[in-house]
Amino acid sequence: MPSELDQFIASFLESAPEKRAFDRVAIEEEIRHWFFGVYFNHWVEVGNGERDEGPEFVLQYWGTPMYVTGDDPELELWLKTDEEVVKFLSIQHQVLQESGYSHTHVPDQKVRAYNNLGGAIEVIWSRRGADETEIQRYVVHFEVAKLSGTWKVTGAHTRSTNIEKDGGTIDGAWSL
């Protein structure tokens, strides 16, 4: 007799869409465009006050739930509701705005597609003031998934870094 899990998998497979060929280069370009061409610009423009929107905009780009870890401050958060996701962004923007945040420089970035519906972005964020003073510098690994036809961040793992340690490269930042 099939288990409940076996029955669930069989039901899922019966209704699953036909498998599409995986074009890694095309999916990576799709992720790159969404992340750096759409999401990143929106995040920066709200963060520096150029766009008059509240932090709720982030729900277009961050999934719920979302898992986040970091070292500075040390944190491990399972953001289970839209409200928690929005609050997490709101705190980030507040800290940056209080420090005179203007823009984010990206010294290095990598995009990897796992399959047609999942991938990762690794990036060094150099968050700066208008005079190019670095306010924060993090290397971040983002997990992304295409949910109902839209890419969303489902997890983020961060480590603080600096140019002397990382040499401006993701590999340097993670090898600290």
Q: What are 154-166's pLDDT values in tens digits?
A: 999 999 999 998 9
- The CATH class for the domain spanning 22-174 reads alpha beta
For residues 51-90, one letter each, b for 16 or more C-beta atoms within 10 angstroms of the residue's C-beta and e for the rest, the string is eeeebebbeebbbeebebebeeeeeeeebeeeeebbebbe
pTM, two decimal places? 0.89
Distance of CA 144 to the CA centre of its chain: 7
Point out which residues pair with 111 in neighbouring strands.
121
Does 68 have pLDDT greater than 90?
yes
Does 8 have pLDDT greater than 90?
no
Pairing of strands 62-71, 118-129: unpaired
Q: What is the pLDDT of residue 126?
A: 98
The domain segmentation of the chain, as residue ranges, is 22-174
Question: What Å distances lie between residue 17 and 26, 30, 31, CA to CA?
Answer: 20, 20, 21
Q: Model confidence over 45-66: pLDDT tens digits?
A: 999 999 999 999 999 999 999 9
Element (H, E) at 28: helix 24-32
Distance CA 45, CA 43 (A): 6
Does 117 have pLDDT greater than 70?
yes
Does 18 have pLDDT greater than 90?
no
The angle at the Cα of 148, spanning 143 to 151, to the nearest 5 degrees, equals 35
Average pLDDT of the chain, as a whole number: 95
Distance of CA 101 to the CA centre of its chain: 19
Nearest 10 degrees: Cα torsion 7, 12, 13, 15:
130
Give residue for tokens 């280069």.
25
